[in-house]
Structure 1
Amino acid sequence: MILPARRSFYAVGANAVVALVTSVLPDFIGFWYVTVGISLLVAFADLLLVVTEPAPRGERVVPHSLPLGVKRTVRLRLHNTGKRPLTMEIFDHFPLQVQATGFPLRLELAVGTFAEPLYDVTAIERGKLNFPCLQVRILSPLQLWWHDLKLPVVSETKVYPNFAAVAQYALMATDNHLSHMGIMKKRRRGEGQDFHQLREYRAGDSLRQIDWKASSRMRKPISREYQDERDQEIIFMLDCGHRMLAQDDALSHFDHTLNAILLLTYVALRQGDSVGLGSFAGQNRWLPAHKGQHQVQQMLNALYDLQPTTHAPDYTQAATELLVRQKKRALIVLLTNLRDEDLDDLLPALHILRKRHVVLLASMREQALDQALDVPVDNQEDALHTAAVQHYLASREATLDRVRAAGIRCMDVPPPELSVNLVNHYLDIKRSGLL
């Protein structure tokens, strides 16, 4: 496509001025003909030059994976394969699922050289993304025309749940600073469920840790040291129903849930446990429990294109299917957004699961509810609104009390606090020996 540049409008304006003068002074009509003729010849020659010159060669370097909601850099590379310096503007055709800044890019490119402009993208939706082409506008030698080209530079990438929290956890685990995230490791020295080793008695060891037979043989106090049980299984039951479409901030409740699953997966695998996943309510997927850090990648691949649906969750059917697939006793983490009307279906499903497994119900509470209680009450309308919110929260707490009364652990937290609370509950369950 050929587009007029700024100098083309200047040329048209100059010819218009000459035409205006000619209308007043007819003797200048010959001069006007010459001016118009020269302008057309120059414009045509300039057009011919920009159309016939070789197009620049373009490349794009996109990260193989993008974390949701995190800014990442895309690098372009433009090579000048022609015989003259190029002035160009660049616009990349990025997918609608990302937000990009920095366009259009303007470059001055000497003969035989290349440039590597950068721009930032932020993914706002998970899944597979396609960058179809790169659009370049090249200014003609006399700067009368823009030659608009679409270079067939195709790139693909995948947007995963935000794994930045996992990287942060790994760093803190290395530095022994887990408490910075709010994850509390309450292990007391030498205590756990599985026998680990014998060692010399240390001040602070409890008497029940002392191995009296070994102490008599060695003629000095010997203590048993235990570690948390390993080779246990954690299964996530992920609700993909319409309640998970709720959104308080930049991320939906569903995306917060995926981030929490990813973090707990990493923690559980580090503890020597196996992790699996089952989803329901319109998106039925099953990933069997496995050990090893490669399971993090398997979990990412299972989750990256998973989206909430408009279906209503059927907890009983999901629990029945899980019992068929998961025979070994496991910690079942059910992630959902609980409502009072769900309890009649949810409670029987939890009872079904509790017969064979340890169950943890993780429900997310809308932040708007907590924020509404912080608003000052200045009039009757504010008072009624605050009272309605408090009534709703009290009803919600009563629902959770019924779940707890059935012997099922549960938590109800705002979405941003889900990850840390989920990890803390998992660590508490492991150390309590329930599994």
Structure 2
Amino acid sequence: MKAFFKSLYIRERFFYISLGIILLFIISFIFPKLFYISKLLLLVFATFTILDIFILYVTKTGITGTRQVPDKFSNGDENDVFLRLENYYTFPIFTKIIDEIPEQFQVRNFSIEKKIKASSVIELKYKLRPTERGEYTFGRLNIYVHSVLGLISRRFFFDGEVMVPTYPAFLQLKKYDLLAIGNNLTMYGIKKIRRIGHTMEFEQIKEYVIGDDLRTINWKATAKQRHLMVNQYQDEKSQPVYSVIDKGRMMKMPFNGLSLLDYAINATLVMSNVVLKKQDKAGMFTFSKRVENTVIAEKRSSQMNLILESLYNIDTNFFESDYGRLYANIKQNIKHRSLLLLYTNFETVEALNRQLPYLKGIAKSHLLVVIFFKNTELDQLIDNEATTIQEAYDKVIAEKFSFEKRLIVNELKKYGIHSILTTPENLTIDAINKYLEMKARGLV
């Protein structure tokens, strides 16, 4: 009996009809002839209510529901969650599905309403976009069922707590896989990179086909074979490429729900995959007050899993990053010339100048690319027309900060340090473009 009352829910229609009958009884004190009509309506209403309860509870298992979630969520991406409902009633039912989704999403009114035909099965899908890494716990799957009468709902609940870990954006790996094949990126709507010169690693001599570079014709082989032969080169392989992630307070800045650190983490995962597909060695480490989460640059089969697990628990802190310690660690532990992609953020030239001696020291032994971010909110202020004195003041300040970013690029270029000034949403593709450009120029 306790379970019965726990699963019984009165619908709004029941309250509205009850209120109408009560009002009719009140009016019947003024118009006595309405009293008999009120009693008749009450009797009919009670009969339909009992009937509704009977048909909903006549079978013990009226409906079953299951939730299918992935083994892990991809941070910042749309992840699919599947629901499967099977109706055991011999008549159509109306359902309201309330899935207790993880508290990190802060969604309090999530529900799906669906009609299910008699003795049938339906499958539903909804999407969730996590914006932080960690553990996401689902609660119960609640299904409220009512008949065409719609007076009473019966509640069913399925599935206990389920925990799904959220990792860096691994779903983006497939999206960018083809970028590892070559440098023609036009199919992605991305700028096309002109291949400059050749890399130094000779592969083979082959027959000329239309489209081959005429500068690669091998005249000795052509004379022997009596038709055009060309030298074929391949990208140099096994070059170490490290993604270096700043965990300091400047990386805490949010953008579209994700912090700059999360954008850097997602870009690192995708970049590492592209590097391995290009037969180079991928590695990574993070730094703030000290250097952590180190994965030595290798190209073994388990490397992507090592990098993914290392990226899982990275978080920012509120310290200023110690570039001196970063320089000392790189000098001590990375002996071979490597490409270092440094994900950080500088807002002013003064902030850069404090760290510039260490960056210059790193650039002497390695190919350093400093990747930092545009402030897109400031760009919006610059683009908007100022109509008040306060808006004009804000616009001038925004232009000053935007100009500082461009000065930082020029300052780095002065000392032969490569840089990428990008928006958070374009970070991944800009970093990949830079890597492929350097491969094409033979710098890596």
Q: Percent identity?
A: 24
Distance 2:402 2:33 in 1: 90
Shift of 1:46: 6.3
Task: Give 1:174 deviation, angstroms.
Answer: 6.6
Deviates more, 1:176-185 or 1:37-46: 37-46
Conserved? CA contact 1:161–1:259, under 8 Å:
yes
Find the counterpart in structure 2 of residue 237 from structure 1. 244
1:150 aligns with 2:157: yes
Q: Which residue of 2 aligns with 1:92?
A: 99
Contact 1:181 1:420 in 2 (8 A): no
More displaced 10-residue stretch of structure 1: 335-344 or 30-39: 30-39
Q: Deviations over 1:259-310 (max 9, x none)?
A: 4323322322221101111122389422222215754454344335544343
Report the more deviating stretch, 214-223 or 306-315.
214-223
Q: Given the alignment of the two structures, is residue 422 of structure 1 paired with residue 426 of structure 2, yes or no?
A: no
Is 2:18 aligned against 1:9? no
Amino acid at match of 2:19: G
For the residues of structure 1 that align with 2:182 and 2:281, how far apart are their CA atoms? 25
Gapped regions of structure 2 (runs ≥ 5): 1-5
SS across alignment from 2:129: strand
SS in 1 for 2:352: helix
Range moving further from structure 2, 197-206 or 64-73: 197-206
Tell me how far apart the structure 2 counterparts of residues 389 and 406 of structure 1 sit (CA, whole Å): 27
Question: What corresponds to 2:322 in structure 1?
Answer: 314
Measured on the aligned residues, the alpha-carbon RMSD in Å equals: 4.3
Counterpart in the other structure of 1:373: 382
Distance across 2 between alignment mates of 1:292 and 1:406:
35
How far does the alpha carbon of each residue in 1:109-139 deviate from its partner, in whole angstroms, 9 at most, with x for none? 524x433233333333333322221012233
Paired with 1:171 and 1:385, the residues of 2 have a C-alpha distance of: 43
- Equivalent of residue 78 in structure 1, options 70, 85, 88: 85
| Mapping 1:188-267, distance limit 5 Å | 191-199=198-206, 205-206=214-215, 224-249=231-256, 251-267=258-274
Letter in 2 for 1:54: K
C-alpha separation between the residues in 1 aligned to 2:391 and 2:150?
63
**Contact 1:92–1:135 (CA<8 Å) still a contact in 2?**
yes
Quick check: 1:269–1:293 contact (8 Å CA) kept in 2? Answer: no
Alpha-carbon distance between aligned partners in 1 of 2:149 and 2:394, rounded to the nearest angstrom: 68
C-alpha contact 1:76 1:117 (8 A) present in aligned 2: yes
Local SS of the residue matching 1:303: helix
- What is the match of residue 343 of structure 1? 352
C-alpha distance in structure 2 between counterparts of 1:386 and 1:30, whole Å: 75
User: Aligned with 2:254: secondary structure?
Assistant: coil
After TM superposition, give the deviation of residue 17 of structure 1 in Å: 4.7
Other structure's SS at 1:54 match: coil
With structure 2 as the length reference, what TM-score do the two structures score? 0.77
CA distance in 2, matches of 1:77, 1:239: 43
SS of the residue aligned with 1:403?
A: helix
- The one-letter code of the counterpart of 1:278 is F
Structure-1-length-normalised TM-score: 0.79
Q: 2:65 aligns with which of 43, 58, 61?
A: 58
Counterparts of 1:356-395 in structure 2, within 5 Å, are 356-376=365-385, 381-395=390-404
User: Can you list the C-alpha shifts for 1:89-121, whole angstroms capped at 9, x where unaligned?
Assistant: 21111123448897232333524x433233333
Distance 1:354 1:48, change over 3 A: same
3-state SS, counterpart of residue 276 of structure 2: helix
How big is the shift at 1:230? Answer: 0.5
Report how far residue 333 of structure 1 moved.
1.0
**Secondary structure of 1:16 counterpart:** helix
1:4 is displaced (CA, Å) by: 1.6
SS of 2:438's equivalent in the other structure is: helix
Distance 1:225 1:28 in 2: 99
- 1:215 deviates by 7.7
Quick check: 1:133 aligned with 2:140? yes
- Closer/same/farther in 2, CA of residues 171 and 42 from structure 1, 3 Å limit: same
**CA contact 2:207–2:228 (8 Å) conserved in 1:** yes
Residue of structure 1 in register with 2:3 after alignment: none
Per the alignment, in what secondary structure is the counterpart of residue 186 of structure 1? coil
CA distance, structure 1, for counterparts of residue 351 and residue 113 of structure 2: 52
Residue in structure 2 matched with residue 268 of structure 1 by the alignment: 275
Q: 1:47 to 1:199 in 2, by over 3 A?
A: closer
Q: 1:264 to 1:195 in 2, by over 3 A?
A: same
- The residue identity in structure 2 corresponding to 1:406 is Y
1:178 and 2:160 matched: no
Q: What is the rounded CA distance, in whole Å, between the counterparts of 1:117 and 1:37 in structure 2?
A: 40
Residue in 1 that maps onto 2:297: 289
CA contact (8 A) 2:99 2:110 kept: no
2:286 to 268, 279, 284: 279
- Do 1:201 and 1:210's aligned partners in 2 also have CA atoms closer than 8 Å? no
Q: CA deviation at 1:235?
A: 0.7
